[in-house]
Amino acid sequence: MEFCPKCGTVMFPKDNCFKCKCGYEREITKEQKNEYEVSEKVSSKENIIVKGDDVKTLPTTRAICPKCGNKEAYWWLQQTRRADESETRFLRCTKCGQTWREYD
């Protein structure tokens, strides 16, 4: 990863140089070209954008769904109150999609 010496932001390779959003540019050296070489070009028509809540990437835990009685749920933490209070744990049933919350 390359960082801009002017502003400290991460710079990304574009064409033959690293470019920063502040305008700073630095040419990519021969050694760096091999490190940042793109092995396969993908057209924008082939890109897949996943939207919605049907993405199954959340961790799961054992919890009984109050709606259908299923014993597994996805979970995540979210700060819903003041910063000095604990987070709220949200659970979503893996079977019916019912969402509920638990407080510590």
Active site (catalytic) residues: 84-85
Find out whether 93 is annotated in a ligand binding site: yes
Give Rg (Cα) of the chain. Answer: 23
Find out whether 7 is annotated in a ligand binding site: yes
Find out whether 17 is annotated in a ligand binding site: no
The answer to whether 81 touches 88, Cβ cutoff 8 Å, is yes
Q: Binding-site residues for Zn(2+), please?
A: 4, 7, 20, 22, 65, 68, 93, 96
Q: Binding-site residues, please?
A: 4, 7, 20, 22, 65, 68, 93, 96
